[in-house]
Structure 1
Amino acid sequence: MMLSAHHKLQLYGALLLLPAALLLTTFAYIPTVTTLISSLFLPGFRGAPAEFVGLENYQVLFIDPTFWKVARNNLLYALGTIPTSIALALGMALFVNARLPGRGLVRMAYFTPTILPMIAAANIWMFFYAPQIGLFNKLLGALGFSGVNWLGDPAVALGSVMAMSVWKEAGFFMIFYLAALQGMPPELKEASDLEGTSRWSFFWRVTFPLLMPTTLFVLINALINAVRVVDHLFILTKGGPNNATNLLLYYVYENSFAFFDRTTAATITVVILLTLAIIATLKFTLLDRRTHYQ
């Protein structure tokens, strides 16, 4: 039977989507369902079958003080890195979008931390934070201050990790803001100049509202980045001292590969996924009203 032109177009579109659908199913949907199922069972010992326990694993997790400490760390990490990274990214994009000498080099300098592998960036900052020979303590000593144990003091360790993350991510987010700024019609600025609008008023009344789609996209990515922190924790602190820098995904890694407690790791993973889904839904719901699409 011959297909109509409409059905051929539908078949063509389905075939184009098939590779992406297969990849998502294999590496996202199936692992997610498997993890959810694993969180509802206790593993059997010595060949015994796994025992279905329902939500018991979640009850045990929610009374675990270490889990709540790690969750609190991750909340502080997100509150510290997300607004700071986005504000810096927007400021850098506004700066390099203006006419300034050597702006190509400035853009490259801002973006360079992004292209560094996270392991390499963590090793660079390990040198900065070293107690005796580190760059930061050398600068403090030259100014007459005593050194700080940046990664060994629980009071400052998490902030030290956050500083490195902001340095690493701000340039990446800057690229999206810069692209959005360059896509704005120049007539808007010309009209504001004719009206005598100040730069500050033009930014808040015109530029920033038009950047809301980009901000929404960056917010979602920054949220995901704030949760999927593993590699530089492995280099810098390994979650210490005394879990002061331990974050949720690193805690999953510890339970799965250090403690060999795959059930707890699966339970934490499901909690993370549900939390991210709820927050992302709220962001889209609340910010969509203030988002102006061109």
Structure 2
Amino acid sequence: MTDAFTFERRRRALHGWLLLSPALIMLTAFAFYPSLATMVTSLWSRGTRRNPAEFVGLDNYRYLFDDPTFWQVASNNLLYALVTIPASMALALVMALWANSKIPARSFIRTAYFTPTVLPMIAAANLWLFFYTPSFGILNQIGALFGAEPVNWLGQPETALWAICVVTIWKEAGFFMIFYLAALQTIPPDLKEAAEIEGASRWTYARRILLPLLMPTTLFILVNAMINSVKLIDHLFILTKGGPSDSSKLILYYIWENAFAYFDRPSAAAMTVLVLALMGALAAFQFLVLDRRVHYR
């Protein structure tokens, strides 16, 4: 009896590992191994044919922290995240509330909101070039009707990063709206009716009932928005290429630039490790703190 029980337990364990093996193989090949290889690369110097790479420990990180361009890029990315994340989430919630209400042509409105999401990144960036072009851009043409001077939106350090933020908010709000819309449709209408019977205002209903019930979805969207805030590169290639004077350069573009333009793989690896460490810390904070508060555990 014991042998049969042990055999059955091993058979189930083997069956479970076989089911997990495709995911483990994919994660090992495309996540675990590249991450480990990046960490190892960040500890070696930049090698050439005449001067092979040498183990330098944390020197690449030390040089990185002494690089003013890195701090400029980091501050750009921080500002970019602080602007795009709350703006796109708030806009997505407003769009979802409107698309979920009883209005005419509701399906058309939902499709119109979601359309920017399905556009390729390069196509969306080229589309916005027609808005930002100094000579015949739509924004400057509208401003000319009111006597405003033309503005080189992508060619000035004061406006380049803000122009990128607008494109990102426009692109991501429709995507986040889908999740809010799905969450809104799971909320029983009886809750709103009960709140109205109790004399609660719309603001009280939204603050006390609607927003708490949407918190799991909000946390999910927040995590996705934070990940997206450090992986933007497509728009920069088309719109600004990180300029002018590094005013719109973000971390992933700077990593690509070091790795493939300057052929400085150790510096690029060091920056990648820092980004992974930051995202790991945010993920730990999410699971250990925010997730418990959101789900009331």
TM range (shorter): over 0.9
Matches within 5 A, 1:20-59: 20-46=23-49, 49-59=52-62
- Which residue of the partner structure matches residue 215 of structure 2? 212
- CA deviation digits over 1:47-69, x for unaligned, max 9? 65431111111000000000000
The question of 1:252 aligning with 2:255 is answered yes
Q: Which amino acid aligns with 2:165?
A: M
Of the candidates 95, 105, 128, which is equivalent to residue 92 of structure 1?
A: 95
Of the candidates 78, 83, 89, which is equivalent to residue 81 of structure 2?
A: 78
Aligned-CA RMSD value: 1.8
- Which residue of the partner structure matches residue 104 of structure 1? 107
Matches within 5 A, 1:272-287: 272-287=275-290
- CA deviation digits over 1:22-61, x for unaligned, max 9? 1111011100000000000113332654311111110000
Q: Which amino acid aligns with 2:131?
A: F
Distance 1:293 1:171 in 2: 29
- Which residue of the partner structure matches residue 237 of structure 2? 234
Residue ranges of structure 2 left out of the alignment (5+ in a row): none
Deviation >3 Å, runs of 4+: 1-13, 283-286
- Which residue of the partner structure matches residue 66 of structure 1? 69
- Which residue of the partner structure matches residue 204 of structure 2? 201
1:17 Cα deviation from its structure 2 partner: 2.1
1:184 Cα deviation from its structure 2 partner: 1.5
Paired residues in the alignment total 294
- Report sequence identity in percent: 56
Residue ranges of structure 1 left out of the alignment (5+ in a row): none
Distance 1:261 1:92, change over 3 A: same
- Which residue of the partner structure matches residue 188 of structure 1? 191
- TM-score (norm: length of structure 2): 0.94
Distance 1:19 1:198, change over 3 A: same
1:16 Cα deviation from its structure 2 partner: 2.4
Give the secondary structure class of the aligned counterpart of 1:155: coil
1:10 Cα deviation from its structure 2 partner: 3.8
Distance 1:20 1:293 in 2: 31
Distance 2:282 2:31 in 1: 19
Between 33-42 and 179-188, report the one with greater CA deviation: 179-188
- Which residue of the partner structure matches residue 17 of structure 2? 14
- TM-score (norm: length of structure 1): 0.95
Does the CA-based 8 Å contact 1:88-1:170 persist in structure 2?
A: yes
1:147 Cα deviation from its structure 2 partner: 1.2
Does the CA-based 8 Å contact 1:209-1:290 persist in structure 2?
A: no
Does the CA-based 8 Å contact 1:154-1:241 persist in structure 2?
A: yes
Distance 1:78 1:133 in 2: 30
Q: Which amino acid aligns with 2:54?
A: E
Distance 1:103 1:293 in 2: 34
1:277 Cα deviation from its structure 2 partner: 1.4
The question of 1:146 aligning with 2:149 is answered yes
1:283 Cα deviation from its structure 2 partner: 3.6
